[in-house]
Structures are given as structure tokens and as C-alpha cells.
Amino acid sequence: MSLHHHRFFRGERHALTLALASALVGLSGRAQEPLNSPTPLTRPAPSLSAGQAAVALAAAQRAQELGFASVSAGLYRQLLDAPGADRAAITVALATALLDAGDATAAESALNNFIGLRGAAWHLRAGLAAAQLKKFDIARTEAAATRVDELGAADRAWHFFLQGLIAETGATPAERLRAGDFYKQAQQAAKSDLARGRFQIAEERARMLRFGAVDEAQLRQAQDTAERFRGRPLGYDAVQLVALMQDRLKRHDEAVATLQRALVALPAEERAVADMFRLTLGFIADPARETAGRAALAQLLETGTDRDKQRMALQLLADAAAKNDNARAAFRAELDRLVDAPKPHPVLPSLLLFRAQAALADKTSAGYARAEADARRLLNDLQTSPLRVHAYGVLTTSAWEQRRYRTAADHARKARAELAAATAPDEIAARVKLAVLEAEAWFRAGDAAGDAGDFRNAADAYAAVLREGGALPAREAGEFMFQRVLAEIRAGAPEAAEPLLDEFARDPARQTPSDLENRWQAEWNLARALQVKDEAGVQHAYARVNRLLDSGAAATASLPPELRARMAWLQARLSLDAGEPARTLALVGALATPPAGLEPALRDEIASRGALLKAEANFRRWAMARENKQPAEAQATETAAVDALQKVRDDYPKSDAAVYSYIIEATHYAQLDRAVDAQIRFTKLADEFPDHGYAPYALLQAAAQAERLGQEKNLEEANAIIERLVTKYPASDLVFSARFRQGELARKRNRFDQAQRAYDYLLNAYPQRDDLVLVRLALAECHNAQSAANPAHAERALDLFAEVRDREDNRFVDARVEAGFNLGALHARAGRGAKAVEVWWRDVVQPFLLDPAVATRLGATGQYWMTRTLLEAGAQFEQMQKLDEAKRAWLLILQAKLPGEAPAKARLKRFGLPEAGP
């Protein structure tokens, strides 16, 4: 059976033991990536969840703004390939990244492959790509088609830039002069130094590309001008023009040499000119491939006087580093040198952010640590800066990729707080995506730790998404509502989910097919949560599902066939749990004709599960008949149940239902103390389905049934079955329990050396398990049993009992009390009565009984050993002639309402206290 169909019935309640319930949860647990509900979606699950998409999108946008344009383009392409991606928005973002990288041809191709409504953002980028490719007629057309009022703040800046590019081609000098004004408007509209740097780079690229055809005569004229005005501003401009012309004439090496010679000859005072020459050299000599360009930009970054040009150099070096390993190594070395210099660099915040982003790309523990250190340094040094959002983005991405989801949620919340006052649509959209990321991070944290508090936080964050999202697309809003309901359920508050679903159902705007599907998926999860809560929850869930399914065909007509079938099966399951086996049989009959359109495998799955329900319903009727003393009815219904299970095996021999049929039948026989029959069924399951996930469980249960028979041969058989389990399934989660059980069997047979080996193996093989305290207790008892013949065993038992007693973990109070009793008993047996009562009173009675907070944690086992402790302590006090202490010990049994009232009263009676009580 596929994982998809296995999840369809996840959490099905059979009349099985608690151990089987735990196995069901473990075997059907879903993968951590991507985020899904605990039950399957009826449509194929996307490869990226909303939170993952938000992380990837934020990383792409951050890389783009920092100048890692090629990295950004790669991330956008990955997002574009993911099923369920918002292809329209991602295509536009990809085109922007490609334009930033100077690859107008690829940007034009991406835009032409766009499917959907071509809005203002698309027309703007089409115009920018056309302008870079010198298709100015197309650029003018696209600019005219761009509705400025539909653009976000960042896009409006790019619209000014496009107008500048077009103005440069104007017919008159006046028109061409306007280009500079447009470029200034674009830079002023940029919201940060980094964003302004992108426009400045684009303007420089445009200036370099504005030449048409260049001939040798023009080049000679420029060279003459450079020579005639050497050392003056006009001469410097001419040198730059000469280099650009040489590059256009495909005399690349000459162009590089021209600028390098000019830099050598340049007076030290002309630092602004040096900045210009180095930036131009960085454009001409691709820093991803040429050392000359890389060195010029590095020098500009280190010694330049123009902060804008330094940031441009930083962005160009960053993108080069993303394309070439040598450039990457040089870039990182340069960043380290500048960041760690004694004198703070003028653009140090940008350097820190770029170094953090570069380290983040390593995806190693060391890289994450470096990235986080730089991001935190930036946050600590800058209380107000637009770079703070990026710094929190680095921290969020680092934590997310390391699956530190609580930390990721906290950083996403802080990043969202940085945008709290934002009013621009694109910033509001970014804030909503951060809320999505925070919500999913909390949800994943809850999955990892099983903490209801994490799910509570997730529910609150999803509420923020829906509250702040405003005009979220209908499908997204429906899915986030579904996730909020699921988070409420997982937080242990299904009662909070019910009114949300009811409100969802009443909203006329939430009646699309996708909304209905989301709503019914949520109803499924709510019913399952109520079902496992308690008996009242079962009745509540049953009533709610009945009301939903009985509301008429119109309510479910638009649902996918799989979801309709699932809800019908759930109704049948709940009818049985609600104590209506007769109705279960009627509903199971309807399952025999599932909705049209189901996949054959799923249709068989439903039919086989229906047959299982039929068997369970008959077993329930059998129990009712026995209780009502109707032997004939009991016989008939038991036969019907067993026949139904056999029919499952005959009709669906390789199905999961056939596996469960053996478990159901074996459990029935175990409840009747028919251990032989139960053992046969469990063993049959393991024999027939050796590769199934329940085979190890079946062997463990078969061993338990053999052990119940109690004879030496049965205990030997139980041990052999366990050995088969651990040998055939060494990777099973049940190996620990099996080896522990093996030790217990050996102790029952007085083979303490074998038991000791089993316990020592567990201590060595599972050093991180919390419940090793129980293994140490069993090992201590094993040594204790051998201590009479060998004092070395007594010393080892003392050490182990003390280790268990002193473990500061209130989850194992009963074990600690038992250990404390045995520790005192060892001292008493060795003739150290005073030491025994000291241990019992100081280390058992005082901390575990007289401390009210701890006393409430005592279970039945702990209460039994506490009674033993007080009885034996009283006896020791009596031997020591400390009669008041003896009476106090026995009175405590009565005052604490511990078991053992009769022997305590009998001992007190000898002291004239026949009616002693609390």
C-alpha cells in the first residue's frame, strides 16, 4: 500500500493494546518535510510548503538586493519548478534577477514563457529587457502599457529608470537631458543604500551599452582628446571613453591596459577619478573571470572615497563570487580583511551582511555559525538601519535550515516587527510572508518536540496571517485557515477549532471548491482529535460528522471522491466507537459501493477496511451479548466476526487490512486468556508478512503470550521468539523493549547472568534514552538477587540503586522509590540497621512522601514500595527500641492512605492503638 493510502486511515482505533497504538503512531508518522496535516491532502502535496517557499523567496530576494544576482536567479528557478508555485510572481522576480545580472536575453525568454495575466510588473520588466537589448521601440510600447498605479514602491523606481533609458534615445538634446532626472528619481525612490546601488549599477551598464557602432576614427579622436587634455577632467573622461570604445571594438585587452595605465599615472589626489576608473575596469573586465576586474573592484572597495561606488563594487564582487570558485575565495578573503581591520570600514554594516550571506551559502555548521555571528554583530551595532531586516533574515534562514524551528520563529517575528510601521503594499506582503514563516516554524517545532505550546504559538501566528493578509488569494486563505484549525487541534484545543470551522462554513466568500476541500479536511482532523480525546469527545465527533453528512448531497457534491469516501469511513468508525455496532454494519454496507472516480487501489483499501469494521462491530455485539447473558447471540456474532476477518485475508491477502485482521483476532483471544490462540495469530502475522512494519510488534506480542503460559518450556519459547525479533529486525524501534523483556524472562528463570548481559547491552547500545533508569533498576535487582553468594554483586547493586534513587527526574518517581527501598534493604540485610533507616527516612520518605508536590506523582507501584519502606523502617526502629519512630512510620501509611492499611493497623495494635488512623 502506498504511503498516501496508508495515511488515509492514520490513527484508526482498533481494540488493541496501548503498545499497538504507539506502534501505529510511529509507523505512520509523516516526514518532516514538507509541512502537511496529519492526514493526507486529497490533492498531491506540494514539494514546498508555504513556510519553505517563504524562506526560499526571502533568501532569493535578499541575495538579489545584496548583489548575488546569479544566486538569486538560481533560487527563483528552483521555486518556479516546484509544484503549486506562484509562477506569475516568481517569473517576474526571476526576470528582475536576470536583469540585475545583465542577462537581458534570459530575462526576455523568461518573460515570454510566462503564462497568465501580463500585468504592470510584467510590462515593466519586458520594457527593461528590451531597452538593455536596444529594442527601444518595444521598450516604449511596454513602458506605455505599464500602469504605474499598479506598481509597488520598488517597481516605481524601476519605472523611472526605464523612462531614463528611453529618454536617452530621444530625438532632441532636451529629451536626452531628461534621462539624468529620471535616473535621479529612480535612485531617490530606492528605500535603502543597497537598493540604490542596484540602480547605479544598472545605469553604468546602460551607459556602457549606449554606444552604437564605433569605428577607428572615433577611437583616434577620443585618444587625441585624452592626450590633449591629460591631467584635466576632460582628459579623464576621454580616457574612460577610449577604454569603452576599445572594448566595443573587441580590443578587450587594450581596454583593460588603458585603464590600468591611467590608474598608475593618476596623481594620488585624484581619488574620485580613481574610483571611476576602477569601477569602469570592473565592468569591462568581468570579475567572475578576470583578475584585473576583481582586483580593481577590491581596491575600490578598500580605498574608495565614493560610498555609493564602494557599495556597487561590493555587489559586483558578490555576484562574481557566486559564479566562480576563485572569485569566491578572493571575495571572502577580502571581506575578512576589511571587516577585521583595526579601523571600522565606512560601509562596515554592508560588509557584515555580505559576509553573513556568503557564509550562509556554505550550508555547513561552521558556515551557519559565521553567518549568525555577523548578523548579530550588525544588529547589536545598528539600532536603526534598513539592513536589520536582512540580518534577521539571515538568522531566520540559518535556524530554519538547521531545523531549529523555535529560533527561526523568533527571528521571523523580530523581522516582522521591523516592518510593523510599513504601509507600502510590497512591504506589507513581506510582513505577511514572515508571519507565514513564523507560523510554520512553530508548527514544525511542535511536530519535533510534541509540545502543545508550540502549536498554540502556531495557531496565533496563522491568525496573524489571516488578519494581516487582507487580500490573500482565496486558495491561500483557505489553506492558512486549515492550518490554523489544525494548529488549534494539535494545541489541545479542538473546542477553539469548531467555531472557526463554523464561521468558515457560513462565509459566502469561502464556498469555492478549494475552500470546501480545505474545510472538509479540517473537519476530518477535528473529528479525529475529538475521537481520541475521551468518550465524550467520541460522541461529540460522531454527532458533528453525522450532522455534516446528513446535511444533504449538495454539501459534499463538490468534494473529491477520496474525501467523500474518507468522511463516510470516518462516520462508520465513529459509530462503532460511539457504541452503535448495528449502525456500523449498515454504514459498512454503504462503503461497499464507494463513490465513482476512486483509484482502484484506494477502492480496495476502503472495501478491506470496511470488512475490518464489520468484524469489529460483530466483536462489539459479541461483548454485549455476553454481558446480557445471551450465549447463542454471542456465539453467532463471534463466528461472524472471525469469518469477516478470514474474508479480508482471502479477498485482500496482501493488504494492510489482512495484517490488522490478525492483530484484531489475536487481541480478542488474548482478552479471553486464550494465550495459545493469540500466540498463533501473532506468529502467523510475522510469518505471512515478514517485511511489514508490524511484524516485529507481532513477534513481541507472541513472546508475551508464550510468557503468559508460564511453564519453563513456554519461557524458553518466548526467549527464542524475542531472539528472532532482534536478529531479523535489528533496526526496529522495538529492539529495546524486546531486549528488556529478554532480561525479565531470564530473571524469571533464575538465569541472572543472562539477564545481566541483556541489561548491560541496553546501557551500552542506547546511552541517550531517558528510560535507561528502568534498565539500571532491573540490573540492580539482578545483582541484588546474586548478592547473597557474591559480595561483589552487593556492591554493584548498592551503586546502581543509589544511581536510580538520585536521578532528578520526577517522571520516574516510582522507580526511584523502589530503588530507595532496595538500597535500605541491602543495608539491613548486611546488619547495618541504622544505615538502613537513615536511607529509608532521609532518601525515600522525606523527599517522596512528605513533599506534597512529589507525593502526588506516586503511582500504584510507587505507593506499594513506599508502604514496604514504612513497614520495614518501623520494624527496624522497633528493633532499635525507638518505638515512637516505629509508630510514626506505621501511622504514615494510614495518614497518606497508602495500600497496606491492615498490616499497619495490626502492628500499631500491639502498642495499644487498635483504632489508629489519620
User: How does pLDDT run across 231-280, given as a tens digit for each residue?
Assistant: 888 898 899 889 988 988 889 999 999 999 999 999 989 999 999 999 99
Q: Could you report the per-residue pLDDT of 778-830, keeping only the tens digit for each?
A: 999 999 998 887 888 989 999 999 999 988 877 899 999 999 999 999 999 88
Proportion of the chain above pLDDT 70, given as a percent? 89
Closest CA to 154 of 114, 107, 194: 194
Q: How far apart are CA 534 and CA 494, in angstroms?
A: 12
CA separation for the pair 174, 141 (Å, rounded): 21
3-state per-residue secondary structure call for 345-368: CCCHHHHHHHHHHHHHCCCCHHHH
pLDDT score, position 363:
87
Confidence of residue 861 (pLDDT cuts 50, 70, 90): very high
As a whole number of angstroms, the distance between CA 721 and CA 708 comes to 14
Q: How far is CA 705 from CA 14, 77, 152, 875, in A?
A: 19, 58, 71, 40
- SS3 string, 406-428, reads HHHHHHHHHHHHHCCCCCCHHHH
- Residue 175 pLDDT > 80: no
- Split at pLDDT 50, 70, 90, the class of 19 is very low
4: left (phi over 0), alpha (psi -120 to 50) or beta: alpha
Q: Residue 426: pLDDT above 80?
A: no
Instruction: Name residues whose C-beta falls within 8 Å of residue 769's C-beta, 6 or more positions apart in sequence.
Output: 736
Question: Do residues 468 and 431 make contact, with C-beta atoms less than 8 angstroms apart?
Answer: yes
Residue 322 has pLDDT above 90, yes or no: no
- What would the mean pLDDT of 355-368 be, rounded to a whole number? 90
- Cα 260 to chain centroid, rounded: 53
Q: Range with the lowest mean pLDDT among 584-593, 833-842, 846-855?
A: 584-593
Centre a 10 Å sphere on the Cβ of residue 829 and count the other Cβ atoms it contains: 13
In tens, the pLDDT along 699-748 reads 999 999 999 998 999 999 999 999 999 999 999 989 999 999 999 999 99
CB atoms within 10 A of CB 673: 9
Long-range contacts, stretch 601-605, CB < 8 angstroms, 24+ apart: 601/1, 601/2, 601/5, 602/5, 602/8, 602/562, 602/565, 604/652, 604/655, 605/1, 605/5, 605/8, 605/9, 605/655, 605/656, 605/657
pTM beyond 0.85: no
Tell me the pLDDT tens digit for each residue of 453-467: 999 999 999 888 888
Contact present, 810 and 770 (Cβ < 8 Å): no
Instruction: Locate 118 and state its grid cell.
Output: 501580463
List Cβ neighbours of 383 (8 Å cut-off, separation of 6 or more): none
Extended beta strands in 416-532, E state? none
Cell numbers for 771, please give them: 528510560
More confident residue, 877 or 544: 877
pLDDT at 472: 65
Reply yes or no on whether the pLDDT at 540 is more than 90: no
pLDDT of residue 213: 67
Binning the chain into helix, strand and coil, the percentages to the nearest 5 are 75, 0, 25
Whether residue 480 contacts residue 51, with contact meaning beta carbons closer than 8 Å, is answered with: no
H or E, element range at 879: helix 860-879
Helix (H, G, I), strand (E, B) or coil at 790: coil
Q: Which long-range contacts (CB under 8 A, 24 or more apart) does 754-758 make?
A: 755/782, 756/782, 756/783
Instruction: Kindly report, residue by residue over 23-65, the tens digit of the pLDDT.
Output: 222 222 223 333 333 332 233 344 557 777 777 777 777 777 7
Asked if residue 181 has pLDDT above 70, the reply is yes
Residue 206's pLDDT is 66
- Cβ 647 vs Cβ 657: under 8 Å: no
CB-based contact 357:29 (threshold 8 Å): no
In the chain, what is the straight-line distance between the N-terminal and C-terminal CA atoms, in Å? Answer: 61
C-alpha cell at 442: 512553530
pLDDT of residue 339: 92
Alpha helices in 786-859 (DSSP H): 791-805, 813-829, 833-840, 846-848, 852-855
Residue 48's pLDDT is: 58
709 close to 736: Cβ distance less than 8 angstroms: no
What is the chain's mean pLDDT, rounded? 84
Q: How far apart are CA 804 and CA 537, in angstroms?
A: 39
pLDDT of residue 40: 27
The span from the CA of 874 to the CA of 870, in Å, is: 6
The three three-digit cell numbers of residue 656, written as one number: 494492510
In angstroms, the CA 73 to CA 802 distance is 62
Residue 844 exposure: Cα atoms within 13 Å on the Cβ side: 35
